[in-house]
Amino acid sequence: MAAVDVEDESILVSVFRASFPDNWREQPDLPGYLSELSSFGVDKLSREPERLAEERAHILQQTRELAFSNYQTFIRTADCTEHIYRDFGRVESSVSRLLDKLPRFGEKCRTFMKEAEEIGASRRMNSLTLNRHTEILEILEIPQLMDTCVRNGYYEEALELAAYVKRLEKKHASLPVIQGIVREVRQSAQLMLSQLLQQLRTNTQLPVCLRVIGYLRRMDVFTEAELRVKFLQARSTWLTSILAAIPVDDPYFHITKTIEACRVHLFDIITQYRAIFSDDDPLLSPGQAPVNESSIFHGWVVQKVAEFLETLERDLQRGVGGRLDSLLGQCMYFGLSFSRVGADFRGQLAPMFQRVAAETFRRAVKEALDKFQEDMNLYTLMALPSVLGGTIPPVVPSVQPGTLQPPMSLLDFQPLACFLNNILSAFNDLRLCCPIGLAQDVSSCLEDALKMVTRQILVFHRAEESVFSTREKELFVQFCSSYAEDLLPFLNRCLQVLFPPAQLALVLGVPVSQLHRYGGLGCINVGLVLQPLDFLLPLKEPAPEVDVTAELGSLTFDLQLPEPAPSQPSTPEPDEEKGQEEEGSD
């Protein structure tokens, strides 16, 4: 069929608009058929319905024949259509179910992707860890290596490890592994600090002390002032352990060993301190006033000296026998050695030894006085003791130049001789350590004792006077005369040997002739002692005064009366025996 113009088609449509249904317009053959109808004549147009009816009938006949000949095909087509319909229903339900499950599937997929990413990141981390296994292992082994270094004394390497861990902590402080490593390394550092301080508590020499203090400074756990205090405390602990190991049974042995240990070890500690620390510049602490570090050292030295003086005082109170001079010499040498470090304490020794010497002398005088009282209680004038005074000529001092000799006439009276011997023993002990400051104490102590002797003589006289025979009265008068004329002047001369008047005058800053104004300084008031015996003593012309200063200038003090015995006039001098004992003890 020929193509129809658009204009003709629109005309045909407008003409036959009401002649056919609207859905026919959509048929593609309709415009062509309408164009063909418009070209028919009347006759042909009138026959057109019949032709269409015949053609319809023919088509229907063909359709019946086709349906009859192909009915099985139609049946199979219907069956296929039914099957297809059912399949489409199943597909639709499956699709519905699939659509219902797709959101959860999507969530699962997203979860899977997230886990996959995490696994991938973990795998990459594990791969990186495997590649860096050696470096990581070294970091993880730092605490164990630090502990090994500390326990084996490799402090230099331990300090390097500690510094490395500090740098790690600054960079990775938030990592738990790094925090654990830092914690364990700090524990090892604390152990190293304890070991270093313990080394200072042992017999450590200067090089080791320098090395230990260097380590402590690098650890940066103490300020400079605290480090000085710790050093002095540790060395004090070691010194205390040394002193505590000295036996305390024998006071003299204990104090001599203490002096030796303090002199050697304290001087070493002071030398070590001054070699390690500098006191030139004050220590500056941030935000604080300067610390006077010299006061730390000075306070420690003063404390150690005070502790030594306490020990010395305690042992002196316990008693050191007759070796006070040796002990004083050792203490003076100790103080002299400390003068090189500005800690000379010799000035504190004199009052201490002076008190001990005075107390020792008082005890000896008291013992002599007690012995005299016992002798007087047993003394009798029934017979002549040994008539030594009449048989032995007077001893002239020129027999033994430079030595004081006790009056031999006292051997006739055993209580006086024994009393003098005991007093001379006390003088001999005092002579070894006799400060000039004891002149007043010794003189007054001896004068009080002599007053007691005088009182005891009076007691004896009152008790025995009623039964005295003429001979016994003469002997008692001789007894009192020997006491007054021999014993007391001799004791005065002994005091003047112990405390020379020239030396006393020099100390007091007065002439020797003016010493009498100071009372009983270095001498006994003989008149006061003998005053109760005046009625028993025979009257004698006063003897001219003798200047004893020149006489005693060249004398030494080595004297002792022999003990009186009925058949033996003399005994060895105790000074010689005492000297032998001291040599044996030394």
Q: What is the pLDDT of residues 361-401, one digit of tens each?
A: 888 889 988 998 888 888 877 544 444 444 444 444 444 44
501/268 Cα distance (integer angstroms): 44
Query: What pLDDT score does 116 carry?
Result: 92
> Average pLDDT, whole number, for the chain?
78
Given pLDDT bands bounded at 50, 70 and 90, which one contains residue 280? low
Looking at per-residue pLDDT, the higher value among 347 and 322 belongs to: 347
Residue 5 banded pLDDT, cuts 50, 70, 90: low
Which residues sit opposite 403 in a β-bridge? 556
Mean pLDDT of 532-546: 65
10 Å CB burial of residue 102 (0-12, 13-18, 19+) is exposed
Q: What is the CB-side half-sphere exposure of residue 546 using CA atoms within 13 A?
A: 9
Q: What is the pLDDT of residue 10?
A: 64
The dihedral built from the CA positions of residue 373, 374, 375 and 379, taken in this order, carries a sign that is positive
The mean per-residue pLDDT over the stretch 434-459 comes to 84
Residue 576: predicted pLDDT: 36
Q: Which residue has the higher pLDDT, 201 or 39?
A: 201
> Which range, 129-138, 139-148, 288-297, 532-541, is most confident?
139-148
Q: What number is the average pLDDT over the span 333-347?
A: 81
DSSP alpha helix (H) spans, 132-223 = 133-140, 142-152, 155-171, 176-200, 206-219
From residue 454, alpha-carbon distances to 486, 532, 542 in Å are 14, 7, 21
Tokens of 246: 């000295």
Rounded to two decimals, the pTM is 0.61
Q: Specify the 3-state DSSP secondary structure of 560.
A: coil
Give the chain's end-to-end CA distance (angstroms, integer).
Answer: 162
Confidence of residue 572 (pLDDT cuts 50, 70, 90): very low
The pLDDT of residue 584 is 35
pLDDT digits (tens, 9 = 90+) for 99-154: 888 898 889 999 999 999 999 999 988 888 888 888 888 888 888 988 999 899 88
Q: Under DSSP, is residue 545 helix (H, G, I), strand (E, B) or coil? A: coil
pLDDT at 579: 36
Confidence of residue 84 (pLDDT cuts 50, 70, 90): very high
| Interval 472-516: pLDDT, tens | 888 888 888 888 888 888 888 888 888 887 877 787 777 777 776
Q: How far apart are CA 15 and CA 30, in angstroms?
A: 14
Q: Is the pLDDT of residue 564 over 60?
A: no
Buried-exposed string 284-306: b where 16+ CB fall within 10 A, e elsewhere: eeeeeeebebeebbeebbeebbe
Rounded Cα distance, 286 and 304, in Å: 31
DSSP tag of 484? I
Residues 432-450 have a mean pLDDT of 82
CA distance 486 to 233: 62
Q: Cα angle vertex 312, ends 309, 316, to 5°?
A: 140
Instruction: Give the pair of three-digit tokens for residue 138.
Output: 């070294």
Residue with tokens 């006949």: 61
